[in-house]
Each structure stands twice: as structure tokens, then as C-alpha cells.
Copies of this chain bind each other. A is one copy, B any other.
Amino acid sequence: MRLGALEAGGTKMVCSIGDEAGHVFSRVSYPTLTPAETMPHLISFFQNEGIEALGVASFGPVDLHKGSKTYGYITSTPKPGWMDYPFLPELRAALNVPCGFDTDVNAAAIAEHRMGAAKGLSSCLYVTVGTGIGGGIVAENKIVHGLTHPEFGHFWLRPHPDDPTPHGFCPFHDGCLEGMANGPAIMKRWGKPAQELPPDHPAWALESYYLAQMCATAVVVLSPEKIILGGGVMQQEHLFPLVRKKTQKMLNGYVRTPAILDDIDNYIVAPGLGINSGVTGALLLAAEALEK
């Protein structure tokens, strides 16, 4: 198959050509401006490549209800021009090929479940920790949509007593995960970007505390067989051992399973597909659309 994959982010649109096994043949990216400015680039790229199907892994929130009149629309984003924009319908009309559509993190979760760190398991949680925080869930071998789709970055955290900014920085929620622990929160709290803070900076003790609380919450709420942490902040690899140790400490032996008690190094892990979870997920969405 010759498939198109569109990773639609708030900053850039990454267009790739690949196949159903996740091989990527070529990749270009365009800045995310208004739809009027950006869409023609995306459409002409995929038109010229002669794809059989397209998979879109989109920033959200999006409408994922297949019966809905606004299926495939971006819904309530603050990005100029994209609010209530018929993203999928416009792409489908222009390209005239089968199109699959999901959120960026759902696509990554699908890919990690199918051929990455959670291959062979029935469930996983994929979380990206970067400019935003988002999560995709596979449960009983199915991607979880539900009412809309998870907005995993926006549950409440219990603040650490030493946090100088215990309310975080989310404009919507007092002390939610994203507002406490995304990249910009680290920057605002400590006055420097994350990548400039050395591994012994107190920022990392706090960051790992919040990410461990996130993992422990995921364990008790969702019981995933694997927790996969990706995104820019997780490029700081020294975070992983801290997060694992604190997750165990917070759970405090309550969930008695070898995965957590004895083998947490293989339970909370980096993406098996590295930085390619998203594009692979988009290719899988395209393949699925083509098969239907």
C-alpha cells in the first residue's frame, strides 16, 4: 500500500508517505497557520504523491463520533481559524481517497499497541509530555473514545508541599496535570526551559513527583498493562527511573502485581517506536480506512 500520514499539530503539520507496516518513505512539514494558508500545502503534497488512503492524527479537541454531522471537525481550539473547522471533510473532498481520523495521542497509542512497546498486550496507556500533555488508551484491544475522547492532561493533581507554584498554569483548571507538569509549566516555574535545567535541579524531583502521580492514577483508574511515556519532556531520560521509583512509592504495595512490584522498569517505558509512534499510528489509520 502507498499511504499518506498527516500528523496535525498546533505548531506544524507533518506529512509522510509510508506503508501499512509503518515504513516511512518521505516526510515534509509545514507550519500550522490558518486553514486557508496551510490546507493547500497539505492537499497538494498528498495529491502529488498518489496515495491510496490517508490517516490523520490530529490535535484536538476533535469530533470522533462517526454518526455526527461534525465528524472529523476540530471543535474548540483557540488556534485562529481552526475552531469548528471541517478538517477531515475538506481533506477527503480534495483527495478523494479513504481517510482514517483520530487524535494524535490515540494514533500513537494504536501504533504502540499494534507494533511498539505494548505489542501482544490487550491494553496500554500512551502519554505525551511536552508542550501539552495528552493520553491515548487502549483497553481490551480497542482504542477508547467514549463520550468525546480523553483529555488526559486535565485531571487534578495533589500538589507537592514544596511546589512554589502549586496551582499550575492551566487557564481552565486549578492544578491540573498539564498546567502543573508540561514543558511550559517547567519553564514558568523555574524561569528556564526544561532542556537547560541540569539533572540535579529541583525541577526534576518535582516533575517526576507529578508524573509519578499521573502514572499511579492511571494504574488505579485504568489498570493498563503498559504505560508508555513520550513527548519532548521525556527526552530527559533521567526522568524515567525517578518516575518509576515514585510511582511504586505512591502505590505503596496496594496493587500487588509483579509488573509494578518487581518489574516496573518494563512497565513504565519509553515508546517502542521512538519518535515514530504518531506517524505509524496515522499510517495504521490509513490502512484501516483502505481495508474498509
Q: Spell out A's residues near B (CB within 8 Å).
A: 61, 75-76, 122-123, 135, 137, 139-140, 142-159, 172-175, 213, 216-225, 250-257, 259-260
Q: Which of B148, B153, B172, B225 contacts A146 (CB 8 A)?
A: B225
**A173 lies within 8 A of B254 (CB):** yes
4 closest cross-chain pairs (CB), A and B: A146-B223, A140-B142, A156-B158, A155-B217
**A223 lies within 8 A of B256 (CB):** no
Task: Indicate whether A156 sits within 8 Å of B213 (C-beta atoms), given known contacts A123-B146, A140-B142, A140-B144.
Answer: yes
| Interfacial chain B residues near A252, Cβ < 8 Å | 172-173
Q: Which of B149, B172, B218, B254 contacts A254 (CB 8 A)?
A: B172
| Interfacial chain B residues near A139, Cβ < 8 Å | 137, 139-140, 142, 144, 146
A-B pairs with beta carbons under 8 Å apart, 8 shown: A123-B147, A140-B140, A151-B220, A154-B220, A156-B157, A156-B158, A156-B216, A156-B250
**B75 lies within 8 A of A152 (CB):** no
**In the bound complex, how far is the Cα of B218 from the Cα of A36, in angstroms?**
37
Other than A151-B254, A154-B220, A221-B221, give 10 A-B pairs with Cβ distance below 8 A: A122-B146, A139-B144, A140-B142, A140-B143, A146-B225, A147-B255, A147-B260, A151-B223, A155-B221, A173-B254
**B156 lies within 8 A of A257 (CB):** no
| Interfacial chain B residues near A174, Cβ < 8 Å | 158
Copies in the complex: 2
| Interfacial chain B residues near A140, Cβ < 8 Å | 139-140, 142-146
Task: Indicate whether A150 sits within 8 Å of B221 (C-beta atoms), given known contacts A140-B142, A145-B140, A158-B157.
Answer: yes
Closest Cβ neighbor of A257 among chain B residues: B148
Interface of A is mostly: loop
**In the bound complex, how far is the Cα of B176 from the Cα of A255, in angstroms?**
14
Q: Which of B142, B172, B219 contacts A147 (CB 8 A)?
A: B219
| Interfacial chain B residues near A222, Cβ < 8 Å | 137, 144, 146, 150, 221-222
**A255 lies within 8 A of B213 (CB):** no
Closest Cβ neighbor of A253 among chain B residues: B172
A78 to chain B, nearest CB (A): 12
| Interfacial chain B residues near A156, Cβ < 8 Å | 157-158, 213, 216-217, 250
**In the bound complex, how far is the Cα of B256 from the Cα of A60, in angstroms?**
12
**A223 lies within 8 A of B172 (CB):** no
**B256 lies within 8 A of A61 (CB):** yes
**In the bound complex, how far is the Cα of B222 from the Cα of A152, in angstroms?**
8
| Interfacial chain B residues near A175, Cβ < 8 Å | 158
A257 to chain B, nearest CB (A): 5
Closest Cβ neighbor of A167 among chain B residues: B158
